[in-house]
């Protein structure tokens, strides 16, 4: 274990093996840091925060500060972070806002410089959040979604597995799994994250079924209710295409609309 002499580490903090804590870092009590974590200069790991093993916390990052919510009453709430997550410079992750609630990040998440994760957000495994993106309270992001830089996501929005959000877009509606949101836009799905699906191991048949589901949902002129019903008939339970149907059916905010001219539309 290596703790720089200028770091401030509460005696009640639980530190795993081979933890490194850099100059002027702060680790409060009621903190648990897993084996092999590296806490960089001037980073702050605040009360009621747990980091899994192998995490990297870069300069100036703050994990576990109070939520930016006027209803917060300073009752115990939590930040739970999985294994092998990377937090680049000046990332902020805030605690849950109600007593006993938590903000949760899965394993292998990568948050780039200046990204903000608000209270009660839930990130699945392998989520990437690029620079200066803002995730408001209660946002949920599915596994291996990619959120580009400068994106603003409204509170309570859900982003599906393997979705991709283009740079500087704004999202106030749910983004179905595998879909691609246009950069510099608001609530506009333009296509599918085909490369992301291939990299994630979806086979050609699964990818084709997702394309068919996308067509049913966005291009066949059906209502959302009828599109969900059609997808449920067309695709078996437990398949990626059916995942789209169930995501849409359970969306309390509604989903992003499709917007693209015919000459811009990529081949699916």
Interval 100-140: pLDDT, tens: 999 999 999 999 999 999 999 999 999 999 999 999 999 99
Residues 6+ apart with CB under 8 A from 57: 37, 38, 39, 40, 43, 45, 51, 63, 87
Q: Using CA atoms, how far apart are residues 13 and 26, in angstroms rounded to an integer?
A: 11
Average pLDDT score over residue span 231-249: 98
In-domain check, residue 267: no
* pLDDT at residue 55 in the model: 99
Q: Looking at the structure, do residues 202 and 104 belong to the same domain, yes or no?
A: no
In-domain check, residue 210: yes
* pLDDT at residue 260 in the model: 64
pLDDT at 4 over 70: yes
- What is the residue-wise DSSP string for 183-226? TT-BSEEEEE-HHHHHHTT--HHHHHHHHHHHHHHHTS---HHH
Q: Looking at the structure, do residues 118 and 43 belong to the same domain, yes or no?
A: yes
204-236 residue pLDDT tens: 999 999 999 999 999 999 999 999 999 999 999
Q: Looking at the structure, do residues 28 and 132 belong to the same domain, yes or no?
A: yes
* Cα 42 from chain centre: 24
% of the chain surpassing 90 pLDDT: 96
Task: Please state the domain count of the chain.
Answer: 2
Q: Looking at the structure, do residues 10 and 128 belong to the same domain, yes or no?
A: yes
Q: Which CATH number do you get for residue 133?
A: 2.160.10.10
Q: Using CA atoms, how far apart are residues 191 and 43, in angstroms rounded to an integer?
A: 39
Q: Looking at the structure, do residues 35 and 125 belong to the same domain, yes or no?
A: yes
* pLDDT at residue 117 in the model: 99
Q: Looking at the structure, do residues 12 and 114 belong to the same domain, yes or no?
A: yes
31-59 residue pLDDT tens: 999 999 999 999 999 999 999 999 999 99
Out of 138, 169, 187, a domain closes at 138
* pLDDT at residue 259 in the model: 86
Out of 107, 138, 169, a domain closes at 138
Q: Using CA atoms, how far apart are residues 54 and 60, in angstroms rounded to an integer?
A: 18
- Of the candidates 128, 115, 30, the one whose C-alpha atom is nearest the C-alpha of residue 80 is 30
* pLDDT at residue 262 in the model: 43
Average pLDDT score over residue span 151-178: 98
pLDDT at 263 over 90: no
Domain boundaries, position 35: 2-138
Q: Looking at the structure, do residues 120 and 201 belong to the same domain, yes or no?
A: no
Q: Which CATH number do you get for residue 251?
A: 1.20.1180.10
* pLDDT at residue 268 in the model: 53
Q: Looking at the structure, do residues 117 and 202 belong to the same domain, yes or no?
A: no
Collapsing DSSP states into helix, strand and coil, what is residue 20? Answer: strand
Q: Using CA atoms, how far apart are residues 235 and 218, in angstroms rounded to an integer?
A: 16
In this prediction, residue 71 has a pLDDT band, given cuts at 50, 70 and 90, of very high
% of the chain surpassing 70 pLDDT: 97
- Of the candidates 55, 57, 75, the one whose C-alpha atom is nearest the C-alpha of residue 66 is 75
Q: Is the pTM of this model over 0.85?
A: yes
In-domain check, residue 117: yes
In-domain check, residue 236: yes
């Amino acid at each position: 274990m290596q703790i720089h002499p200028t770091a401030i580490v509460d005696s009640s903090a639980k530190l795993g093996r081979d933890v490194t804590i850099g100059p002027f870092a702060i680790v409060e009590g009621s903190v648990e840091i897993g084996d092999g974590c590296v806490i960089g200069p001037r980073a702050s790991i605040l009360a009621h925060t747990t980091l899994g093993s192998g995490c990297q916390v870069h300069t100036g990052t703050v994990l576990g500060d109070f939520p930016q919510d006027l209803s917060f009453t300073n009752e115990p709430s939590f930040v739970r972070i999985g294994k092998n997550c990377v937090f680049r410079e000046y990332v902020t992750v805030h605690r849950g806002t109600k007593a006993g609630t938590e903000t949760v990040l899965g394993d292998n998440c990568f948050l780039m410089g200046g990204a903000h994760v608000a209270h009660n957000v839930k990130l699945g495994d392998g989520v990437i959040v690029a620079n200066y993106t803002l995730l408001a309270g209660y946002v949920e992001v599915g596994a291996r979604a990619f959120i580009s830089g400068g994106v603003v996501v409204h509170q309570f929005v859900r982003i599906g597995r393997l979705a991709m959000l283009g740079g500087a877009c704004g999202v106030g509606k749910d983004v179905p799994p595998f879909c691609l949101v246009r950069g510099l836009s608001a609530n506009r799905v333009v296509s599918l994250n085909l490369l992301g699906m291939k990299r994630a191991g979806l086979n050609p048949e699964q990818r084709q079924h997702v394309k068919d589901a996308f067509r049913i949902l966005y291009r066949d002129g059906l209502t959302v209710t009828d599109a969900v019903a059609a997808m449920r008939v067309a695709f078996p339970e437990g398949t990626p295409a059916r995942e789209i149907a169930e995501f849409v059916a359970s969306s309390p905010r509604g989903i992003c609309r499709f917007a693209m001219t015919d000459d811009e539309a990529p081949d699916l």
